[in-house]
Amino acid sequence: MVIDRKECAKLLRENGEFLVLSHEHPDGDTLGSAFALCEILRLMGKKRAFLCCDKISADFSYMTDGFTPDEVKNPFIIAVDVADVKLLGSIADEYGKKVDLSIDHHLSNTYYAKNNFVEDRAAACEIIYELAAELGVEKNRYMRNCIYTGLSTDTGCFRYQNVTPSVFRVAASLAEDGVDNVKINKIMFETKTKSFLRLEMIARETLEYYFDGKCAVITITQDMFRKSGSGEDECYPITALPRQIEGVLVGAVIKEQKDGSFKVSVRTEDGIDASEICKRLNGGGHKGAAGANFGNDYNEGKKLLLESIKISLDGIE
Amino acid sequence: MVIDRKECAKLLRENGEFLVLSHEHPDGDTLGSAFALCEILRLMGKKRAFLCCDKISADFSYMTDGFTPDEVKNPFIIAVDVADVKLLGSIADEYGKKVDLSIDHHLSNTYYAKNNFVEDRAAACEIIYELAAELGVEKNRYMRNCIYTGLSTDTGCFRYQNVTPSVFRVAASLAEDGVDNVKINKIMFETKTKSFLRLEMIARETLEYYFDGKCAVITITQDMFRKSGSGEDECYPITALPRQIEGVLVGAVIKEQKDGSFKVSVRTEDGIDASEICKRLNGGGHKGAAGANFGNDYNEGKKLLLESIKISLDGIE
Cβ–Cβ below 8 Å for A191 and B244: yes
**Residue A187 contacts B, CB cutoff 8 Å:** no
Q: Which of B157, B158, B192 sits opposite A244 (nearest CB)?
A: B192
Residues 43-82 of A with CB under 8 A from B: none
Residues 144-183 of B with CB under 8 A from A: 157-161, 163-166, 168-169, 171-173, 175-176, 181-182
Mapped onto helix, strand or coil, the DSSP state of residue A314 is helix
Find the range with the poorest average confidence among A111-115, A282-286, B60-64, B172-176: A282-286
The 10s digit of each residue's pLDDT in B294-303 is: 899 999 999 9
Chain B interface, mutation test: which of A194, A217, A239, most B Cβ atoms within 10 Å? A194
pLDDT digits (tens, 9 = 90+) for A221-243: 999 999 999 988 788 789 989 99
Q: Answer whether B163 sits within 8 Å of A181, measured CB to CB.
A: yes
Same domain, A229 and A265: yes
Chain B positions touching A191 (Cβ under 8 A) are: 244-246
Contact (CB<8Å) A193/B246? yes
Sign of the torsion angle spanned by Cα atoms B185, B188, B194, B196: negative
Instruction: Give the pLDDT of residue B287.
Output: 83
Instruction: Tell me, yes or no, whether B55 and B181 share the same domain.
Output: yes
Claim to verify: residue B167 and residue B33 sit in the same structural domain = yes
Q: Which of A142, A160, A189 is the last residue of a domain?
A: A189
Residues whose CB is less than 8 angstroms from the CB of residue B202 and which lie 6 or more positions away in sequence, other chains included = B224, B227, B228
Query: Mind listing the pLDDT tens digit for each residue in A249-265?
Result: 999 999 999 999 999 99
At CA A86, angle to CA A81 and CA A92, rounded to 5? Answer: 95
- Whether residue A192 and residue B244 make contact (CB cut-off 8 A), yes or no, is yes
Residues B145 and B226 in one domain: no
Confidence at residue B317, expressed as pLDDT on a 0 to 100 scale: 67
Chain B residue at shortest CA distance from A270: B183
| Contact of B36 with B143, CB cutoff 8 Å | yes
In whole angstroms, give the CA distance from residue B175 to residue A167: 10
Residue A191, pLDDT > 90, answer no
Total tally of structural domains belonging to chain A: 2
Q: Would you say residue A317 has pLDDT above 70?
A: no
Q: Which region among A6-20, A210-224, B235-249 has the lowest average model confidence (pLDDT)?
A: B235-249
Q: Would the CB atoms of B247 and A194 count as touching at under 8 Å?
A: yes
Q: Measure Cα distances from A123 to A80, A120, A230, A296, B93 in Å.
A: 11, 9, 28, 36, 52
Interface residue of A57, A158, A217 to substitute, partner B, most B CBs within 10 Å: A158
Q: What is the reported pLDDT for B236? A: 79
CB contacts, 8 Å: A161 with chain B? 182
- Residues A235, A294 within the same domain: yes
Whole-angstrom distance, CA of residue A165 vs CA of residue A153: 17
The whole-angstrom separation of Cα A237 and Cα A246 is 16
Residues A159 and A291 in one domain: no
Mutation target to probe the A interface, by most A beta carbons within 10 A, among B159, B188, B210, B243 is B159
The single-letter DSSP state of residue A245 is B
Residue where one domain finishes, among candidates A189, A220, A243 = A189
Query: A183 and A95, same structural domain?
Result: yes
Q: Do B204 and A197 touch (CB under 8 A)?
A: yes
Q: What is the CATH number of the domain that holds A164?
A: 3.90.1640.10
- For residues B44 and B166, membership in a common domain is answered with yes
- pLDDT on residue B276: 94
DSSP assignment string, B50-112: EE-SSPPPGGGHHHHTT--PPP-SSPEEEEES--SGGGGGGGHHHHGGG--EEEE--TT----
Angle between helices B28-43 and B141-154 (to 10 degrees): 160
Q: Which of residues 226-245 of A touch B (CB under 8 A)?
A: 241, 244-245
Q: What's the pLDDT at B172? A: 98
Cβ–Cβ gap B176/A165 under 8 Å: yes
ipTM score here?
A: 0.87
pLDDT at A285: 79
Q: Which residues of B touch A164 (CB under 8 A)?
A: 175
Q: Calculate mean pLDDT across residues A56-79.
A: 95
Decide: pTM greater than 0.90.
Answer: no
CATH code for the domain in which residue B237 is found: 3.10.310.30
Is there a contact between B168 and A182 if contact means CB atoms under 8 Å apart?
no
Question: A residues 207-226 near B, CB within 8 Å?
Answer: 207, 213
**B245: nearest CA in chain A?**
A192
Low-confidence ranges of chain B (pLDDT < 50): none
Residues of A in contact with B207 (CB under 8 A): 197
pLDDT digits (tens, 9 = 90+) for A161-186: 889 999 999 999 999 999 999 999 99
Cβ(B17)–Cβ(B75) below 8 Å? yes
- Structural domain range at position A211: 194-314
Closest-CA residue in chain B for A240? B190
In chain B, what residues touch A201 (CB-CB under 8 Å)? 201, 204-205
Chain A residues touching B178 at Cβ < 8 A? none
Output the pLDDT for position A292: 93
Is pLDDT larger for residue A151 or for residue A233?
A151
Contact at CB, A201 and B197, closer than 8 angstroms: no
Nearest to B169 among A163, A172, A207 (CB): A172
Tell me how close the Cα of B74 comes to any Cα of chain A, in angstroms. Answer: 42
- pLDDT for the residue B191: 87
B246 vs A194: CB contact, 8 Å cut-off?
Answer: yes
* Last-in-domain residue among A189, A214, A246: A189
Q: Are residues A41 and A182 in the same domain?
A: yes
- Are both A83 and A107 inside the same structural domain? yes
A233: enclosing H helix or E strand: none
Mean pLDDT of chain A: 95
pLDDT of res. A289: 85
Pair B176, B208 in one domain? no
Residues 6+ apart with CB under 8 A from A7: A115, A117
Subunit contact A194:B160, Cβ cutoff 8 A: no
Query: Residues B89, B237: one domain?
Result: no
Say yes or no for a CB contact (<8 Å) between B175 and A185.
Answer: no
Q: Between chains, do B157 and A158 touch, taking CB under 8 Å as contact?
A: yes
